[in-house]
Structure 1
């Protein structure tokens, strides 16, 4: 087993305090948005072997198919979508042929992989994820008495269902709207929310997002998206092709080892609205909470049914005096998310972890048990023969008319 030294990202939407506190460090006053754990070439972890100089984790583990992040947001992330495998491969090959540097700001496809992901809440975590049903969007729009909202409602009446929603979003992103139209929608939403009128938090969300992006068309698009709040210990799965924008909170985010993101608003980063719409046109993946499956006495396994990853969360205590056995896997990343624990491998290696510490364990480490009082989360590639967690739809499936 090897302790990890991980890369971090200081994006402007990050929290100045949440991740430093989680890692037991002093904040430096700037935002800290993400900590990456894995072997992605744009930010892979390092390990130290036998007192030698640090080496890339991939030198020890080989390339891992999954990546684990600690994510902490104080304000909304970009309106974004991740590509499926076919689009990722084609997009990566095209940008490689054009000679776009991998670290260039305008680069969209950083690798040739799709990016399904799952968020496991460490604090109350708010996100916008997936389109609302047509009828719900129409209820939202008909409550807003502005020319833009009335026009959008008329368009959706003419072309309801998923394809109609995508066409509406495409027009907003590519054609745009007139000066002051976003502000008028926001003011109408504020008046409705102040009067205690809302449709599943749509108006309150638009006002909240507009505090940071007052004239961004993403504020209007937010009205079409489901708002989901995860409590600590809950998880949600975002398949490729799901439009989303995290709002605030801290989570563990586990995903296929990819950094492919197509953005269309709520950000200062380069946008690719055409690419985002292309991903949506490929279809809509399932949007769901993930119901965990038990493993042993103290562990919940969140497995959404993709090949690359699962997340096992273990509540360790004196109820298991011999230690909590973690699910077996040839490669795993284990992070302590609370308390103080000790990992013990089959080779009798012992590593003590406090909250925020992370470890890579490989095939030679065998079974791993956890002693102490605390919580650990293990990212790993699951055995394909083991049960998949039940996915609970947040909304009814789309049935285009």
Structure 2
């Protein structure tokens, strides 16, 4: 197995303290939003392995100390590309193709992320092909589809975690708007009461995002004032408006379920489900994609017609997940997709080592305590990549997250 050296992404919404506290290092004063673990080409993890005798000479080297070939630091995506079957296993390659199908992250939200939605697989393939045909640059601000893959995801809280997830029932959203007593919300509440569920949500979201920006700014200011005054279930709206004054996403947030997770609880977010993370530290896993359509709470491009095509206008409870225990002490977060499987182990003092050998690829992440994966010591925030069929035994005392596939 290989110890991972991981990149921390400094997005503006990131906490300045949460990831440093987990890693036991001093904060830099800059936001540290996401630590990526995996083979995504945008920020692949790096590993150090002996170079093949006839391999390229690039990369930093370590050694040799025992007469073997020097070791080289290599991006994990290049390692997988060089021998997908060895790294991922034949079954995973046959099912998902020759790349690691998931991306694991530590996510630290110090401020709200954008309100967003992800396409399903067919929509992603269609959208990517269309933008490629039109030669829209991958780095263009209005580019929506960065790849041809879907992006289901799961977030598991490490600290108390706050977010928005999925549509609430239209009548509940209408009642919430009416409780605030803001006159400019009345047309949206009327739409929510005038149509069947899917049409009500579609009409209301379209009207909110299509409203005159000056009028929206006045509405958001009035919502913020009313939310501060009334507090309770509306309090989070004042916080959103503080971070995004005048943004239509503050009004759109009133259509969604407001969720608070306790450590160990999780949310699964499938295609078409609008969501936003507001604050907290968590372990996030997703299919290996970067396709995001934004609905608000952002200065970035919002394509309203395409968004309305992708969103699933279905009201549902947010479905807070708690892991299912297995006989070996593995607590599994069950999801309906196969690209990833996330589970958790709480290893007690003096416990028996756990055999995690698998026919598929794995990333093991320690989030607390002192563990050993094989001969590699793992502290909080440290991780390893385990190729398919690699003998894997974990021991020690602490908490371990295991990311793998269902092949």
- TM-score if structure 1 supplies the norm length? 0.87
CA distances 1:322-372 after superposition (whole Å, capped 9, x unpaired): x1233734200111111111112xxxxx11111111110012413x22111
- Distance in 1, Cα, partners of 2:29 & 2:286: 29
Of residues 379, 393, 402, the one that matches 1:369 is 393
Say whether 1:231 aligns with 2:269: no
SS in 1 for 2:164: strand
- Give, in whole Å, the separation in 1 of the partners of 2:45 and 2:143: 22
Answering whether residue 333 of structure 2 is matched by residue 276 of structure 1, we say no
Instruction: Return the match for 1:355 from 363, 376, 380.
Output: 380
1:58 aligned onto 2:77: yes
CA distance 1:319–1:284, change in 2 (3 Å) = farther
Question: SS at 2:306's partner residue?
Answer: helix
Kindly report which structure 2 residues correspond to 1:300-379, keeping only aligned pairs within 5 A, or say none: 300-321=331-352, 323-326=353-356, 328-344=358-374, 350-366=375-391, 368-379=392-403
Say yes or no: does 1:30 pair with 2:30. Answer: yes
Q: 2:7 matched to which residue of 1?
A: 7
Structure 2 residue ranges without an equivalent (≥5)? 51-61, 63-70, 85-98
Deviation at 1:283, TM superposition (A): 6.2
Partner of 1:191: 229
TM-fit CA distance, 1:2: 0.6
Describe the shift of the 1:214–1:170 C-alpha distance in structure 2 as closer, same or farther (beyond 3 A).
same
Secondary structure of 1:32 counterpart: coil
Distance 2:143 2:256 in 1: 27
Q: Distance in 2 between matches of 1:244 and 1:353?
A: 33
Change (3 A) 1:285 1:91: farther
**Higher helix proportion (structure 1 or 2):** 2
Cα shift at 1:319: 4.5
Moved more, 292-301 or 80-89: 292-301
1:22-79, CA deviations, whole angstroms, 9 ceiling, x for partnerless residues? 2233221110111111112222212110243321212333411111011000111001
State the number of aligned residues.
369
How does 1:203-242 map onto structure 2 within 5 Å? Answer: 203-242=234-273
Could you tell me which residue of structure 2 aligns to residue 68 of structure 1?
104
Q: Which residue of 2 aligns with 1:388?
A: none
Residue 99 of structure 1: how far off its partner (Å): 2.4
Q: Which residue of 2 aligns with 1:92?
A: 128
Q: Which runs of 5+ in 1 are unaligned?
A: 345-349, 384-401
1:87-119 per-position Cα deviation (integer Å, ceiling 9, x unaligned): 111111122222233234332211111111000
Give the match for residue 289 of structure 2: 258
Corresponding residue number in structure 1 for 2:18: 18
Pair 281,228 (structure 1): closer, same or farther in 2 beyond 3 Å = closer
Q: Does 1:180 align with 2:213?
A: no
* Alpha-carbon contact 2:169-2:315 (below 8 Å) kept: no
